[in-house]
Chains A and B, each alone.
Chain A
Amino acid sequence: MPEGECRPTMDLFRSEPMQLARVIIPVESAHRVISYLGELGLFQFKDLNTEKSPFQRTYATQVKRCEEMARKLRFFKDQMYKAGLISSTRSTYASEVSLDELEVKLGEQEAELIEMNANSEKLQRAHNELLEYKLVLKKAGEVFNSAQKSATAQQREQEYRRVERSLDSPLLLEQEITDLSKQVKLGYVSGLIQRDKSMAFERILFRATRGNVFLKQYFIEEPVIDPISEQKLEKNVFIVFHSGERAKNKVLKICDAFGANRYPFTDDIGKQNQMVTEVTGKLSELKTTIDVGKHHWGSVVQAISHQYEHWNNLVKKEKSIYYTLNMLCFDVTKKCLVAEGWCPVFATNQIQKALMKATIDSNSQVGPIFEILNSKEPPPTYFRTNKFTNSFQEIVNAYGVAKYQEANPGVYTVVTFPFLFAVMFGDWGHGICLFLATLYLILREKSYSSQKLGDIMEMAFGGRYVIIMMSIFSIYTGFIYNEFFSVPYDLFGQSAYDCRDPSCRDATTMGLIKVRETYPFGVDPVWHGTRSELPFLNSLKMKMSILLGVAQMNLGIIISYFNAKFFRNDIDIWYQFIPQMIFLNSLFGYLSLLIILKWCTGSQADLYHVMIYMFLSPMDDLDDNQLFFGQKYLQILLLCLALVAVPWMLVPKPFLLKKQHEERHRGGAAYQPLHSHDNNHERERSGGHEEFEFSEVLVHQLIHTIEFVLGSVSNTASYLRLWALSLAHSELSSVFYEKVLLLAWGYNSVAIFIIGVIVFIFATVGVLLIMETLSAFLHALRLHWVEFQNKFYQGDGYLFCPFSFALISDNEE
């Protein structure tokens, strides 16, 4: 490791140097030590008790206690939610309470609340029952009244008939009527039943009594609160008329089975009225009792809600502390706890300070011992990012976390990612829209970061700095492409070209002539709408994509050089980096050179032809396609170099690795006794010597070489997506502009124009600003992950996740 050398700080380029540390903590100050380390948040504990199950560990009971308290807090939260209170994020007064006190307090509060709930539930049930009873009385009363009325009416009619035409009346009628008194007295059961069960209820009743019942049901319009389940249900009032005791039993049983609530009812109207008044009286009485109870309950919950957040944080912290304590192991004397873990080197002082403070605060006689261990285990990767670089680092981490101290592509991603995006999204009108939208997010950062957002919003908010960079760059490329919602503006002076004569009739046939200096910045606006616009822009963007691609791939290979140098890997420099550079640049570097030469000289050489015949017949003369003197011989030289570079990449490295391994093996055995015992132990733990399999290395190198050789062709071609997407974007936006906005304008009607504007706005926002942004984003992502990072990035590290209270409170559901 390059420790003594004086290097500039490489904050983001190389991950923080880490060390494996062991802390020996006296038992009495362990809790405080862990809590201070948690506040510091720069120590990642290793689990030293992996073989023990959670409940066998030392502090299992404390963890259980904390869980129990967390459960009580969840109960309170539930109650607060019911009361419609949102816990105030900042508690009004945060009195310091210890865990034990809190436990007692929580227990008391819970018991109180539960008792209150039970009481109010009982009252509520009685209340609901009475409500249902009232409904039954009302509905059933109506039934009996109307039945009685119709019965008397019938009777009167029949009597009237008898008087009128007594001769015609059937003889038996008299008997029928007089039998009224002899008739069997019908019993009835009344109550309420859930509406969706009523059909089955009726069916079963019918079957059970063989049809010897009469069931009447009445809808109740509003849903009723069921006394037992306390849910709002749609119900029917029913009255079942039955005859006989056995039928009655059956009906009652069926009612019970269906969860139908039965209520007594009399057919005496006087009694009915009396019952109604009685029930109404009871109801109002209960209502006041319930209200008083509710008020009391509300005040208790209110009191809890003030402290809830504070308590919740405390319990969470305590739980995490005990959870961490469970990862430590006891040393032999059982008086100390031993912790092992990773921490960044720069944090050593801070950690030691925290340990000192813990010793003093807990009045411990012995301080914790902090020592650094040597380990062959790969340390975790830790980048100190800020809110700006974080989202770019996330983009890199999504592909793979960098190996420890490996060169981090995140540094370059900050600029190259938005730039490549903007190449595909070049339109300064769209760029400004995107910029304003993101600016709004950034300005309201404070309020947004504290609240919960939806899925998509969360994503946009998380990447707000990426998006704002993307929009700034796309404003820039938009100026270069000279497009504002696909309309060109001559902001930087007048166009360089003009018509030959004022009538401008020959503009399409003869072309324009150059009258002024070249347009100073970006594409000359005169190209817009001409017949040669597309060929010109395509040629420009295609060549530009290749230049950008070759540049970025070269950067990737150069970073692989820095990696090799950093890890002192000369083999990689000589047998990987150099041939790769030669191969890529002799083919595509040369192409880039040709492109630039062509641009500078204005030559009409056909670059396809040059490149293709450079391979097919390198000895032929170039004729018209010659750009500079000696081009043919340079091409032959480059071709030879490229051909040599392939076996250079392929052959020597595996053999050299084999030799190196053999040497190390022999040498290692010779000076092994020099290693201290501890070191050896560590090495054995981390797997000892790695096995060297020559064939495997050879195959690996073969694959790597083939991948690079083929990849340099296909990756360069892959960068052409920059051109393709940029073309698609500008064509789409010009279609929306011309076929929607200009077409609508052409009708000379305000209504059509308004419709056109609305369609244009929706198309621009939906297709260009959202979908195109996504697709350009994905393509930029791919160019970084595949074309750029495969040149150097291993990405097989693991993240540093320290024990930190700040992270715990962030992880809240």
Chain B
Amino acid sequence: MYGFEAMTFNIHGGYLEAIVRGHRSGLLTAADYNNLCQCETLDDIKMHLSATEYGPYLQNEPSPLHTTTIVEKCTLKLVDEYKHMLCQATEPLSTFLEYITYGHMIDNVVLIVTGTLHERDVQELLEKCHPLGMFDSIATLAVAQNMRELYRLVLVDTPLAPYFSECITSEDLDDMNIEIMRNTLYKAYLEDFYRFCQKLGGATAEIMSDLLAFEADRRAVNITINSIGTELTREDRRKLYSSFGLLYPYGHEELAICEDIDQVRGVMEKYPPYQPIFSKLSYGESQMLDKAFYEEEVKRLCLSFEQQFHYGVFFAYMRLREQEIRNLMWISECVAQNQKSRVHDSVVFIF
């Protein structure tokens, strides 16, 4: 059906696409970031944000402001918008929108499980969870002692259940296990999302496969770098890579045997799209890699708005907003801790 979306897309998706494009035009611009970076106090930030779409969410906050409040309120806005879109959406867009939140669900599960492992208060952990990844019985996660219980008690009711098939073991939970679980889940999630988008077909499949492939490759690189020097075997590492993307399959073979960051770099520079990212980094450096990847991602996400009649814009918008919130968090932290010299380190301009 490729090429015929224009005839039928607007019947169900037209309104929401208009909504999401409207939301996208509310994203902060480079001029806004420049102004924000010059702020002296958190109140200045609030004052500046009150002129943007965040205004109504921040206006009733009493004056000694905290970074967490700002982030919380900004996230609340995103969540409100998401909920509004989800309410209006019909199949298959509603499923697509739900897929977007699964990533947060995985993060939340991992957060709670790790937290309980270190004997933190559940309530406190719940507050830290991303509101998009909440599900009913999330608090019950604290009861579980091992993977099998985790699955049997709680996750079987959530959309994450099918992703769990690969990591059900009776081993007790520990940090390493949890991290592997996170990556396995994420791998299964990305693959499932990828398959779903392929099934949708048309421009959605085309654009989303590009975005998801980038996501998968980025995760592969991150897994590799993070697992250097740990007891994770090559085989295990290989298993955590998603089975699609630009690096699949040959790049994965090579990444699996990397021993240090420069080897990773050697592998990645063979792939033209990733070459500019790595060529910007000096040898042996991995600090700036995250930012470089974020910048590349934002570029790709923005490009997806150039085409019409596909669902990629919803994914892109959610991701861009999250990036914006990360930016705001970084700026507010820098301002709050008087580290203004570092304010530009981690801010990714969206426009």
Contact = CB atoms under 8 A, between A and B. Distances in A.
A258 B142 CA distance: 12
Contacts of A207: 152-153
B153 A204 contact: yes
Contact of B139 (A54, A203, A258): A258
A290 to B, nearest CB: 26
B142 A257 contact: yes
Contact of A197 (B43, B136, B143): B136
B34 to A, nearest CB: 8
Interface stretch (B46-54, B188-196, B213-221): B46-54
A60 B45 CA distance: 12
Contact of A253 (B40, B60, B136, B142): B142
Interface in A246-261: 250, 253-254, 256-259
A204 B38 contact: no
Interface string A159-192: 0000000000000000000000000000000000
A54 B137 contact: no
Given A197-B136, A254-B143, A256-B122, A55 B153 contact: no
Interface in B61-113: 61-63
Nearest to A63: B47
A200 B60 contact: no
B157 A200 contact: yes
How many chain A residues sit at the interface, stated as a range, is 20 to 34
Given A53-B35, A67-B50, A250-B143, A257 B60 contact: no
A71 interface: yes
A54 B38 contact: no
A69 to B, nearest CB: 10
B60 A204 contact: no
A74 interface: yes
B123 to A, nearest CB: 9
A257 B137 contact: yes
Nearest to A70: B59
Contacts of B141: 257
B47 A54 contact: yes
A766 B80 CA distance: 39
A664 to B, nearest CB: 39
B128 to A, nearest CB: 16
A71 B48 contact: no
A54 B136 CA distance: 43
A219 interface: no
B260 interface: no
A75 interface: yes
A644 to B, nearest CB: 50
A56 B38 contact: yes
Q: Which of B48, B51, B143 has the most CB of A within 10 A?
A: B143
A253 B143 contact: yes
B44 interface: yes
B143 A55 contact: no
B60 A75 contact: yes
Nearest to B40: A55
B143 A64 contact: no
B39 interface: yes
B44 to A, nearest CB: 4
Given A63-B47, A208-B153, A71 B143 contact: no
A490 interface: no
Contacts of A63: 47
Contacts of A74: 59-60
Interface string A193-218: 00001001001100110000000000
Interface string A72-98: 001100000000000000000000000
A259 B122 CA distance: 12
Interface in A46-65: 53-56, 60, 63-64
Given A55-B44, A253-B143, A200 B136 contact: yes
B118 to A, nearest CB: 17
Interface in A678-714: none
Q: Which of A197, A256, A257 has the most CB of B within 10 A?
A: A257
A71 B59 contact: yes
A599 B48 CA distance: 71
B258 to A, nearest CB: 42
B279 interface: no
B51 A54 contact: yes
Nearest to B45: A55
A68 interface: yes
B51 A257 contact: no
B185 interface: no
B137 A55 contact: no
How many chain B residues sit at the interface, stated as a range, is 20 to 34
A646 to B, nearest CB: 43
B47 A204 contact: no
Nearest to B143: A253
Interface string B5-40: 000000000000000000000000000000100111
A720 to B, nearest CB: 36
A71 B140 contact: no
Interface string B123-159: 0000000000000110111110000000011100100
Given A54-B48, A208-B153, A254-B143, A64 B43 contact: yes
Nearest to A201: B137
Contacts of A55: 35, 39-40, 44, 47-48
A204 B136 CA distance: 11
Q: Which of B59, B139, B140 has the most CB of A within 10 A?
A: B140
A254 B47 contact: no
B48 A53 contact: yes
Contacts of B63: 68, 71
Given A53-B35, A54-B47, A200 B143 contact: no
Nearest to A250: B143
A259 B126 CA distance: 12
A204 B137 contact: yes
A254 B40 CA distance: 46
A256 B50 contact: no
A71 B43 contact: no
A203 B157 CA distance: 10
Contacts of B38: 53, 56
Nearest to B140: A257
Interface string B248-277: 000000000000000000000000000000
Contacts of A56: 38
A67 B143 contact: no
Nearest to A72: B62
Q: Which of A53, A63, A68, A259 has the most CB of B within 10 A?
A: A53
Nearest to B141: A257
A565 to B, nearest CB: 45
Contacts of B154: 204
A75 B48 CA distance: 22
Interface string A451-476: 00000000000000000000000000
Contacts of A250: 143
Contacts of B157: 200, 203
A58 to B, nearest CB: 14
B117 to A, nearest CB: 15
Given A56-B38, A71-B62, A257 B143 contact: yes
A254 B140 contact: yes
Contacts of B122: 256-257
A378 B154 CA distance: 69
B47 A67 contact: yes
Contacts of B60: 71, 74-75
A68 B152 CA distance: 51
Contacts of B35: 53-55
18 contacts: A54-B47, A64-B43, A68-B63, A74-B59, A75-B60, A203-B157, A204-B137, A208-B140, A208-B143, A208-B153, A253-B142, A254-B143, A256-B122, A256-B139, A257-B140, A257-B143, A258-B139, A258-B140
Given A56-B38, A71-B60, A258-B139, 7 more contacts: A67-B47, A74-B59, A197-B136, A207-B152, A208-B153, A257-B140, A258-B140
Interface of B: 35, 38-40, 43-44, 47-48, 50-51, 59-63, 122, 136-137, 139-143, 152-154, 157
